[in-house]
Structure 1
Amino acid sequence: MKSLRTLLIAACIGPALALTSRQTTSQTAFVDLNTTLGKPEHLASGWIYGIPDNFPNQIPSSWYTDVGFRWGKGGGAQLGSTGQRGWVVSLDDYKGRFASTLANYKTCRALGADFHIYVHDLWGTDHAGGKNGKWPGDGGDFSDYDKFVRQLMADVAANMDLRYVTWDIWNEPDIQPYFWVRSAQQWVDLYVRTHKAIRSNRALDAMKISGPAIGFAPGPSNSFWTTWLPQAVGNNTIPDFYTLHLLGGINDVTYDPAYTNTSLASLLKKYNAPARQVFVNEYAAAEEMVPSGYIWWIARLERYGMFGMLANWLGGTQLHDLFGGLLTKEKNPAAYAATDYAPAAGYPVYRYYGTNMTGQRANTTGSADRWLDVYATVGADRVRMLAGVRVHTGTYSIVVRGLGAVGYASGAVVGVDAYSFDGASTKAVVGMVGTSRGKTSYSVVNDAITIVVHQTANHTGWAFEFDVKR
């Protein structure tokens, strides 16, 4: 890690918030050590693709386990050789994509992670021929698609432990012309018949179903959501996971989990739909693939109890490698068969999240202006916090309350160690851990301390730690 442009300014100030002239209370996040929320489950530790298509695969297992890897997803996207282009081309081309899918599944299960199937990629939407091509249900005819579903059901039943598998019915039907080029109703018809086919197959009872995987955020003006949800309710085809994609970028509030948590709940209430676990199975825009962005998303997903898989903005063979950009290679990240793996800017963040943050999760609140968020744990040895200003600059503060719960009386001194995570590239090699930025002493006033961060490099993320005294 090279020179740091982000300066941490530490001051011994109490919860009354002696803020600088460039800072307002809207730029303050809170950690409450009096309230814990259960053990860390690494809700954000997963990504789509990013796993080599061989098993055992060429990435050593420690690269996965150190980040608390929870789930992966695959289906053979962007494979273009003969025999790898998907069902829409031929049965043999489907078999090639299923081989990729099965290899990714085996890797996930060997590491204790669940696996989600990208069914649209097994169909071969990238080889479907666009608007003039072949899509399920054209002319009201689903017969070929039904054959595809029967083939895939037989293959997953024969080759996978379905307790750890989720069938994602169709990906981003509203992102046209990439994954769907027909009407919302034709896609809903596909969804309903697929759900019913799966649930009528007793061999698949243990497998979960996810949907709708709509690309744009849920809300009353999203016609794909409002077309799908009432029909899913009416046909008794509600999925096991409600899947969302939150990829809209940092300036659109509708892609903030704080917004979608409420907007989805309103839609469910309107259409009398049951509650389900929310799975953001693609999160973070390309511009957010930096430490500050990664941390913001981790904190947001953890707060709202949403499962998450990091989006993957790489292409070609790199799509099937490099953990979606968390890893790079010492010489050439585009060299698919090379094994000289190294951490890119985001990997140390997820490694800290997956390895260091132990004990109990603490209750947190993000800043009112939406830019700063924090995730915190109370371990047997230390309190640890990840803080990220979402690809943004400014002066921010973190108020840590409830110091008495970890052994600090009023007037006691808390020595806080600070670490920075730097780098703005998914290609450049960085260190395996954050860079130490020293220790600062804070006096406890009214059971709290305040840490002030001057964020001048929008990519930098932070970790703060201090000892538990009890």
Structure 2
Amino acid sequence: MPTSPGATRRPYLIAVLALLASLFAVVQPAGPAAAAVDGMTVDMSTYGGTPTYRASGFIYGLGQNGSTPAASLQSQIKATELRAGGSQIGCPAGGYVNGSDTARWNAEKAYYARAKTTGAHLEMILAGLWGADGVCTVPRWPGDGGNWSEYTAFVSQVIADVKAAGMTGSDVRWDLWNEPNIFFWGASQAQYLEMVRRGTLQIRAALPGAVIEGPSCACNPADAWFTTYLDYVKANGVVPDILSWHALPGDPAVDAANARSALAARGMSVAGLDVNEYGAYGAEQQPGPSAWYIARLERGNADGARANWGMVGATPSLYDTMGWLVTANANQPMGQWWVYERYAEQTGQRTKITPGGNAAHDGIVFQDAAIHKSIGIYGATPSAATGQVGVTYTNIPSWLQKSSTIHVRVERMPSTNAYVAAPTVVSEGRVAFTGDTLTVNLDWTNNLDAYAVILTA
């Protein structure tokens, strides 16, 4: 029996209506039956500051010759910082203190060459060049027994090497030691501080424009070890250009505020802050926590470099995975790489966002009037509540609107230690709203996932 035109169209109309209903379910405010577990608010009338991509750095993560992973994987995320010192090369007797520093210096030069080609700066860890990397044997520490001649000769050698390699510009930061408050330093804090004084004065005498960073401790600016460091460098005229520490785990926004308070209390100033290792191995290096760390670094106006534990893959290596952004050996993007890729796509002006309760959910949002687009990236801590999380956009500008509608694309960056070809599109379509306010509800069932919300006119 032939069907009528209306009967033919009916299944199609039902499918369209179902699709629209599902889209509106994503972006409309949560009702009583689906109460949100948390929420964030984006005020699009308050903005300022162009992108710096300051959170896109990592420690080691490239091959020793700097050729892998592919440079495109690094340039697409606009990595701003590479941090390395030749660690673990030549163990158990590697590094200057063991009379075996050539291979480590060659790796340092390779990282610098890669940094230059991809627009990043290099942070040079002198501890690694010395041989203190947590793996190799360290027979002596700088200043042991009050003898500083070996350390002075070591710094002179590094200065000569950087001059010969053309590495004397501001695109190289001198990191005098890595995590000197734990086992990477085998002497007293007083001996470490004397090393800082001597090394800083020697470097600045030879290279007045050198950028020195420190203390790069496994601590935070509220710790007694850190404040002792600040008091010493001020009293001895060796304040670093960049103040640094690690968050493993930690909250860069809180730590940055504490650092600035500590500096202000002492009448000190620095050119910048750098959380030059962040994200503890495991859950914190998945998409959700990665996006959260980006948001907190941006909120604290601090640079950042992902930690690298060299503990992944069939043959674990410090010289692979870009800080666990790509798969081991195969070097393919994982979910967290896509977080940084979307971060790298943000243009325009940084926009005000109020984080969720206890800052368990946070994000970084940019809006660009020139291209009628806003990209927001949202993350969570590993312990954040799961469920519906509302992101409310207020004061939506007229250039993002068309007849009181806006195009909304919601993407999920999944938590998986495997190749992810692209983010998962959760929903996409035009959405009607009133009063210049729109709530996008994210069904956050796994707090290790991250989300991107892309608004276009």
Deviation at 1:273, TM superposition (A): 1.7
TM alignment of 1:207-356, pairs within 5 A: 207-219=210-222, 222-248=223-249, 255-286=250-281, 287-315=283-311, 318-329=317-328, 333=329, 340-354=330-344, 356=345
TM-score (norm 2): 0.87
Pair 1:403-2:390 in alignment: no
Gaps of 5+ in 2: 1-21
Deviations 1:343-394 (A, max 9, x none): 122111112221x322222222211321111111213132111111222324
Deviation at 1:228, TM superposition (A): 0.9
Provide the secondary structure at the position in 1 that maps to 2:358: coil
Deviations 1:373-419 (A, max 9, x none): 1111213132111111222324322111121353438x823331111
Provide the secondary structure at the position in 2 that maps to 1:346: helix
Native 8 Å contact 1:188 1:227 kept in 2 = no
- Please give the alpha-carbon distance, in whole angstroms, between the structure 2 residues aligned to 1:346 and 1:102: 28
Native 8 Å contact 1:136 1:145 kept in 2 = yes
Equivalent position of 1:382 in the other structure: 373
The letter of the residue matching 2:264 is K
Deviations 1:253-312 (A, max 9, x none): xx2123212211222133222243111111111121111011111111122211111111
Native 8 Å contact 1:403 1:444 kept in 2 = no
Q: Which has the larger radius of gyration?
A: 2
- Please give the alpha-carbon distance, in whole angstroms, between the structure 1 residues aligned to 2:438 and 2:316: 48
Structure 1 residues 125 and 388: alpha-carbon distance in aligned structure 2, compared to 1, 3 A threshold: same
Structure 1 residues 213 and 81: alpha-carbon distance in aligned structure 2, compared to 1, 3 A threshold: closer
Pair 1:152-2:120 in alignment: no
Residue correspondences, number: 425
Equivalent position of 2:18 in the other structure: none
Equivalent position of 1:10 in the other structure: 26
Q: Give % identity.
A: 29
Deviation at 1:41, TM superposition (A): 1.7
Structure 1 residues 260 and 115: alpha-carbon distance in aligned structure 2, compared to 1, 3 A threshold: same
Deviation at 1:157, TM superposition (A): 1.6
Equivalent position of 1:181 in the other structure: 186
Deviation at 1:206, TM superposition (A): 2.8
Equivalent position of 1:85 in the other structure: 94
Equivalent position of 2:101 in the other structure: 94
Equivalent position of 1:370 in the other structure: 359
Equivalent position of 2:433 in the other structure: 444
Gaps of 5+ in 1: 1-6, 249-254, 334-339
Equivalent position of 2:80 in the other structure: 70
Aligned Cα RMSD in Å?
Answer: 2.3
Native 8 Å contact 2:65 2:107 kept in 1 = yes
Native 8 Å contact 1:185 1:227 kept in 2 = no
Native 8 Å contact 1:51 1:321 kept in 2 = yes
Equivalent position of 1:43 in the other structure: 54
Equivalent position of 1:423 in the other structure: 415
Higher relative contact order (CA 8 A, sep 6+): 1
Provide the secondary structure at the position in 1 that maps to 2:353: strand
Provide the secondary structure at the position in 1 that maps to 2:390: strand
Equivalent position of 2:129 in the other structure: 122
Native 8 Å contact 1:33 1:405 kept in 2 = no
Deviations 1:85-126 (A, max 9, x none): 101111xx1122111111111111122211110110100014
- Please give the alpha-carbon distance, in whole angstroms, between the structure 1 residues aligned to 2:28 and 2:36: 16
The letter of the residue matching 1:363 is K
Equivalent position of 1:412 in the other structure: 404
Native 8 Å contact 2:349 2:367 kept in 1 = yes
- Please give the alpha-carbon distance, in whole angstroms, between the structure 1 residues aligned to 2:442 and 2:32: 11
Native 8 Å contact 1:389 1:455 kept in 2 = no
Native 8 Å contact 2:375 2:452 kept in 1 = yes
Equivalent position of 2:110 in the other structure: 103
Deviations 1:203-234 (A, max 9, x none): x2232100111111111xx2321221111111
Provide the secondary structure at the position in 1 that maps to 2:79: coil
Provide the secondary structure at the position in 2 that maps to 1:414: strand
- Please give the alpha-carbon distance, in whole angstroms, between the structure 1 residues aligned to 2:362 and 2:305: 19
TM-score (norm 1): 0.85
The letter of the residue matching 2:365 is A
